[in-house]
Amino acid sequence: MPQQSPIGIFDSGVGGLSIAREIRNLLPNEDMLYYADSAYCPYGEKPPADIKKRVFSLCDFLLSQGAKLLVVACNTASIVSLDDIRQRYQVPVVGVEPAVKPAVAATKSGTIGVLATGVTLSGDRFSSLVARYCHKTAVITQPAPGLVELVEKGKIQGNEAEQLLVKYLNPLLEQNADTIVLGCTHYPFLRPLIENIVGPNITIIDTGKAVARQTARLLKQMKLSCHDTTKPGKELFYTSASQETVEQVVRLLWNDRSVKVKHMPLT
């Protein structure tokens, strides 16, 4: 029964858990497989061809485990490979892209800031988002190397993260951005720190809830939604990196001390 099959979710690492938690909230009965490609993280500084190759391996793995739908819970991977994934596989695919459209709708100053990886910001998909929605809105882009690495280590609080965030957020604030897009799925885990730095007058936008809604819509449309509404959905977590290290961080970010992560190297 494909309806009882799991949703397959992946990211370069643990960042996609910010998407997975919204899917869990919205779809409490669906089983989920989550693959954290932490051994190859960060994707954001790698050549797009290398990212694509990795992404195909992860999709192949999740499909071999019975995934009925794929969620590319990574802006960088979506920017470079979403069209190819959709061409290559039969299952429905949900991607993630920086929430430029909602930010344009929210800004009052007419300037938005987008925090994302270098690969995301230089991708054609991102340029076309800007071309489509930002006729009357100024867009300041800010690559943010180092943030993903901190989240991968579970360092979502403290001086190191705060100093780096101040360095990346100040230029956006100085140029009058009143709306900031978190264009990388790792960044929502830094949201409390970001809110502290920018203060209450700045709108922060991430895509987790929208991606969860799109996942639910697509499952329904394809008649793939789980029928059993009596049992809570289960999660299985996999990683290409050290099981122990990733398990600790997944437990922190997933807010569950009992989570188990399986080491699953893929070529």
Q: Indicate which residues carry an active-site annotation.
A: 74, 184
Q: Considering the complex, what minimum distance in angstroms separates the CB of residue 220 from ligand DGL?
A: 26
82: contact with ligand DGL by CB under 6 A:
no
User: Is residue 184 close enough to count as binding ligand DGL by CB under 6 A?
Assistant: yes
Phi, psi dihedral angles at 214 (to 5 degrees): -65, -40
Q: How far is the CB of 118 from ligand DGL (least distance, A)?
A: 8
- Tokens (6 digits) for 58: 């992860």
User: Which residues, 6+ apart, have CB-to-CB distance to 244 below 8 Å?
Assistant: none
Q: Does 76 bind ligand DGL (CB under 6 A)?
A: yes
Shortest Å distance, C-beta 66 to ligand DGL? 24
Q: Which is nearer to ligand DGL, 119 or 261 (CB)?
A: 119
Strand partners, 71: 9, 94
Contact between 75 and ligand DGL per CB under 6 A: yes
In the bound complex, what is the minimum distance in angstroms from residue 232's beta carbon to ligand DGL? 26
The single-letter DSSP state of residue 170 is: H
- 250 φ/ψ angles, rounded to the nearest 5 degrees: -60, -40
Q: Which two tokens stand for residue 169?
A: 């957020």
Measured CA to CA in angstroms, residue 176 lies from 15, 90, 246 at distances of: 28, 44, 38
Q: Tell me how many residues contact ligand DGL (CB under 6 A).
A: 17
Among 6, 8, 15, 123, binds ligand DGL (CB under 6 A): 15
- Least CB distance from residue 183 to ligand DGL, whole Å? 7
For 188, which DSSP code? Answer: G
**Helix (H) or strand (E) run with residue 47 in it:** none
DSSP 136: S
Binding mask 129-158 for ligand DGL (x = CB under 6 A): -------------------x----------
Q: Is 42 in the site for ligand DGL (CB under 6 A)?
A: yes
- The residue within the footprint of ligand DGL, chosen from 74, 150, 190, 193 (CB under 6 A), is 74
Choose, by CB under 6 A, the member of 10, 34, 35, 43 that binds ligand DGL.
Answer: 43
Q: Which of residues 41 and 226 has its CB atom nearest to ligand DGL in the complex? A: 41
Q: Which residues pair with 113 in a beta bridge?
A: 140, 180
DSSP string across 71-113: EE--HHHHHHHHHHHHHH-SS-EE-----HHHHHHH-SSSEEE
240 binds ligand DGL (CB under 6 A): no
User: Other CB atoms closer than 10 Å to residue 3's CB: what's the count?
Assistant: 14
Name the residue number minimizing CB distance to ligand DGL.
44
CA 2 – CA 148 distance, rounded (Å): 34
* Chain positions contacting ligand DGL, by CB under 6 A: 11-13, 15, 41-44, 74-76, 117, 120, 148, 184-186
